[in-house]
A = this chain, B = another copy of it.
Amino acid sequence: MADSQPDLSSSSFGDDPTVDDARTRILAAAGPVFARHGFDRATVREICRQANVNVAAVGYYFGDKMGLYRQVIRQIHDSKERRFPSPAARQSEPTETLRLLVYTLLSRMLAGDASGWESQLMMREMQQPTAIFGDLVQESFRPLFEQLVETFRLIIGSDVPRDELEKFAFSTIGQCLYFRIGRGVIQILVPETTRKRAYDLEQLSQHVTSVMLAAAQTRRNSHHPLA
């Protein structure tokens, strides 16, 4: 059943950027193609054309198209941890932690097309989950989510119910995500001059941070009216 892959299927092998064999080239070419077209629309033939290998190579090295997709996902998670280490928790003020988390989140999403295909693939999984969606959320999403929840707990106070803190976290993520997923809408609704001036990474993260900080602090004051 096409499970007779060569024994180099063990991980931490295809990630070495020094080698440039067929397997590595396929893996490197598959990511952007999957991100651009989605799993279904992406064709094995295009991936192999860009990797300069024969179409049979993906069957040889990865079993089938889904096996290749799985390896691409692993590659994403590894490289993300390498390039964007989770910001050191509770380094100083929780408000500063929130600011850093938002900046990190937006950085990942608005990354240039060269490396921005990773978050694009993640958004595709949101809208059309494949078999690996659960693992992707648990491994790559939950850490950031928990950090956001704990940060809001520090800002607002320990006596608000957890589901409220979670909604604050989702509101933060939602805003960041929209400035990426709604890029096409923004391009139409906002003239280019305004976009060039007021929609860069710094100002967007500043905006999202200030919105959520204002909401969190208002919520705290409403809960502790005696302060």
Contacts and interface: CB of A to CB of B under 8 A. Distances in A.
Contacts of A177: 174, 177-178, 181-182
A189 B127 contact: no
The majority secondary structure among interface residues of chain A is: helix
A124 B190 CA distance: 21
Interface stretch (A20-28, A58-66, A128-136): A128-136
A38 interface: yes
A142 interface: yes
B137 A188 contact: yes
Interface residues of A, number: 54
Given A38-B128, A166-B189, A171-B211, 7 more contacts: A41-B41, A141-B189, A163-B198, A164-B198, A210-B215, A211-B215, A214-B214
